[in-house]
């Protein structure tokens, strides 16, 4: 299987999480910023947001993942501002040394981190952030509007494009082994910067369509000046060393062999499984294991037995009366699919799903699809921190073409988005056959395929769903509200108590929805941030 643009950490000679930014060489700060950012993307993309977007479900400790049981202590932006502080030190050192490459990289990563904060929470400290060392008057920065943060991000990315426009030999201070993303290649960083700009212009497409259209036109119409990521080998991915838990894939069982640990409790969600099965998606076999012991309905009474088949595999045969007893006891249906079975979203007894013989939390379920075995490993060529992909870029361009903002057709970018995703997961040879079953059919088809392609980076599909209402996802019976959440709460201790007046002003700018429920203020995961207000989306 091809490497598919993997970039790993095997040449790092420092602990990326243990560098003192005030004394570190800027080349040692670079991997600190990159890896910390990538880890945040993965933690969300296989964590709570994978539950929201119904890629996965947990069958142990399910509240935040399956049911969105979030509150004012659930999520904090502290880790993101830690990244930004390190990145600010990195940028300042680059300025002091007149290192143009590093300045460009720092601006890209600044845009990425602030973009995540604005996307996840809404208004946030931006123009007055990262200045605490200048004096206590900066301890309580104002929360900038989400719109202003997005516009600031786009300005930084335009500057980064210019800084990264020289030939590699014209830069000083590059140590390729410390650039765990692109090995010191400014042309690839430049593509990343402009592709990230496309992401944020599309964020603005409903609220500021003029700005979005002009920005996207400027990039797409001049590929010489604004190159973008169009092939999967240029994807912004960071691999794992796998030598210890902090630098391993988060569900690795090598350093956490707990049989009820992160890997075992995380199963495929039926929403994604069934969407992929519908069109024989070849990525399903890469991401998921088949059920180890399929359930088979047989005639008779009181039959519940394991039968060994001639090929050495097993199946569990059950009669209808046994199925009826199970469904009566747990209120759950039985899925007899012989290959892939996902857990439905937010069911009340996920730990008991599909007649599992073990009712403990987060254990092996022979009648459900676990993640594929590679997700038990510490490192693998496909285990990547996926920051931004060619597939995402093409789906953005497909939507842009659909709006009539660029001259190319939505069909060609739609197909390219699918092709690049399949290539990235090593199943590109199945492209033609797969495409026959998923022909282009407007915006919903674009976003649906983008949702599938966002596997392990599900946060981006959450933001697309908020903006478009696609894919059309339904909450399960155990969900705490009757709709999917829209944002993270401002954290009571870290974001509100330490900066109360500015936080309360930002909360007042949130727009409550009918799903705010018992939340005592507009600081709700079901309140609309600026980018959604007035759009009628997603509800």
Q: What are the structural domains of the chain?
A: 26-239+384-468 (1.25.40.390), 266-375 (no CATH)
Confidence of residue 7 (pLDDT cuts 50, 70, 90): very low
Neighbour tally for 306: CB within 10 Å: 11
Stretch 69-92: mean pLDDT, rounded? 98
Stretch 305-324: mean pLDDT, rounded? 98
**Alpha helices, H only, 331-439:** 390-402, 410-424, 431-437
Stretch 115-129: mean pLDDT, rounded? 98
Whole-angstrom distance, CA of residue 212 vs CA of residue 247: 37
Of the listed ranges 10-19, 177-186, 376-385, 443-452, the one predicted with least confidence = 10-19
445: phi then psi, degrees, rounded to nearest 5: -70, -35
Whole-angstrom distance, CA of residue 292 vs CA of residue 309: 13
Residues 57 and 65: beta-carbon distance below 8 Å: yes
Answer yes or no: is pLDDT of 448 > 60. yes
List of long-range contacts for 293-301, beta carbons under 8 Å, 24+ apart: 293/366, 293/367, 294/336, 294/337, 294/338, 294/339, 294/367, 295/334, 295/335, 295/336, 295/354, 295/355, 295/367, 296/336, 296/338, 297/323, 297/336
Element (H, E) at 160: helix 146-163
Whole-angstrom distance, CA of residue 361 vs CA of residue 349: 10
Confidence of residue 150 (pLDDT cuts 50, 70, 90): very high
Residues 180 and 34: beta-carbon distance below 8 Å: yes
Residues 41 and 459: beta-carbon distance below 8 Å: yes
Neighbour tally for 168: CB within 10 Å: 12
Which tokens is 252 given? 């690795």
- The 10s digit of each residue's pLDDT in 369-388 is 999 999 999 999 999 999 99
Residues 387 and 36: beta-carbon distance below 8 Å: no
- Chain centroid, CA 172 distance in Å: 34
Whole-angstrom distance, CA of residue 306 vs CA of residue 284: 26
Whole-angstrom distance, CA of residue 210 vs CA of residue 485: 28
- The 10s digit of each residue's pLDDT in 388-432 is 999 999 999 999 999 999 999 999 999 999 999 999 999 999 999
Helix (H, G, I), strand (E, B) or coil at 249: coil
Stretch 292-315: mean pLDDT, rounded? 98
- pLDDT for the residue numbered 25: 86
Which tokens is 203 given? 């964020």
Whole-angstrom distance, CA of residue 52 vs CA of residue 65: 7
Which tokens is 348 given? 């009340």
- Spatial neighbors of 300 by CB under 8 A, at least 6 apart, are 319
- pLDDT for the residue numbered 21: 64
Residues 364 and 370: beta-carbon distance below 8 Å: yes
For residue 471, whether the previous peptide bond is cis, meaning omega lies within 30 degrees of 0, is yes
Burial of 240 (0-12, 13-18, 19+ CB in 10 A): buried
- The 10s digit of each residue's pLDDT in 260-291 is 899 999 999 999 999 999 999 999 999 999 99
- pLDDT over 90, % of the chain: 92
For 10, what's the count of Cα atoms within 13 Å in the CB-facing half-sphere?
9
Neighbour tally for 82: CB within 10 Å: 16
Helix (H, G, I), strand (E, B) or coil at 444: helix
Confidence of residue 257 (pLDDT cuts 50, 70, 90): confident
- pLDDT for the residue numbered 256: 84
Whole-angstrom distance, CA of residue 290 vs CA of residue 315: 13
Sign of CA dihedral 474, 482, 54, 41: positive
pTM of the model: 0.95
């Amino acid at each position: 299987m091809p490497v598919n643009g993997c970039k790993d950490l095997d040449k790092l000679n420092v602990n990326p999480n243990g560098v003192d930014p005030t004394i570190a060489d800027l080349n040692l700060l670079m991997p600190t910023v990159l890896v910390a950012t990538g880890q945040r993307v993965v933690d969300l993309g296989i964590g709570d947001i994978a539950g929201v977007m119904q890629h996965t479900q947990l069958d142990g400790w399910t509240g935040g993942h399956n049911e969105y049981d979030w509150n004012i202590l659930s999520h904090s932006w502290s880790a993101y501002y830690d990244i930004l502080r390190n990145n600010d030190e990195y940028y300042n050192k680059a300025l002091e040394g007149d290192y143009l490459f590093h300045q460009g990289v720092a601006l890209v990563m600044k845009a990425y981190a602030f973009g995540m904060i604005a996307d996840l929470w809404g208004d946030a400290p931006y123009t007055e952030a990262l200045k605490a060392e200048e004096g206590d008057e900066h301890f309580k920065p104002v929360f900038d509007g989400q719109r202003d943060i997005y516009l600031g991000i786009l300005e930084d990315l335009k500057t980064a494009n210019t800084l990264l426009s020289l030939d590699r030999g014209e830069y000083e201070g590059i140590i390729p082994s410390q650039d765990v993303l692109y090995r010191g290649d400014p042309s690839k960083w430049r593509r990343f910067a402009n592709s990230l700009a496309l992401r944020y212009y599309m964020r603005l497409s409903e609220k500021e369509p003029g700005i979005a259209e002009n920005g996207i036109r400027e990039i797409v119409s001049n590929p010489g000046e604004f190159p973008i990521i169009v092939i999967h080998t240029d994807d912004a991915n960071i691999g794992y060393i796998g030598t210890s838990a902090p630098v391993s894939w988060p569900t690795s069982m090598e350093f956490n062999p707990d049989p009820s640990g992160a890997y075992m409790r995380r199963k495929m969600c039926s929403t994604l499984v069934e969407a992929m099965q519908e069109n024989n998606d070849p990525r399903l076999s890469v991401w998921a294991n088949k059920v180890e012991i399929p359930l088979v309905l047989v005639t008779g009474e009181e039959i519940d037995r394991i039968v060994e088949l001639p090929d050495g595999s097993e199946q569990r045969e059950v009669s209808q009366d046994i199925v009826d007893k199970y469904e009566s006891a747990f209120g759950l249906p039985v899925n007899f699919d012989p290959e892939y079975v996902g857990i439905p979203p937010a069911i009340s007894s996920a730990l008991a799903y599909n007649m599992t013989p073990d009712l403990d939390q987060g254990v092996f379920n022979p009648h459900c699809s676990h993640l594929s075995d590679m997700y038990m490993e510490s490192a693998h060529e496909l285990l990547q921190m996926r920051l931004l992909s060619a597939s995402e870029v093409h789906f953005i361009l497909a939507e842009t073409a659909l709006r009539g903002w660029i001259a190319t057709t939505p069909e060609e970018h739609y197909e390219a988005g699918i092709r690049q995703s399949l290539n990235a997961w090593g199943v590109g040879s199945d492209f033609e056959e797969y495409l026959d079953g998923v022909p282009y059919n407007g915006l919903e088809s674009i976003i649906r395929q983008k949702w599938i392609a966002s596997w392990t980076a599900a946060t981006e599909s959450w933001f697309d769903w908020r903006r478009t209402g696609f894919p059309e996802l339904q909450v399960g019976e155990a969900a705490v509200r009757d709709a999917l959440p829209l944002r993270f709460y401002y954290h009571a201790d870290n974001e509100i108590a330490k900066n109360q007046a500015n936080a309360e002003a930002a909360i007042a700018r949130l727009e409550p929805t009918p799903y705010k429920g018992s939340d005592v203020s507009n600081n709700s995961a079901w309140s609309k941030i600026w980018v959604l207000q007035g759009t009628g989306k997603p509800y």
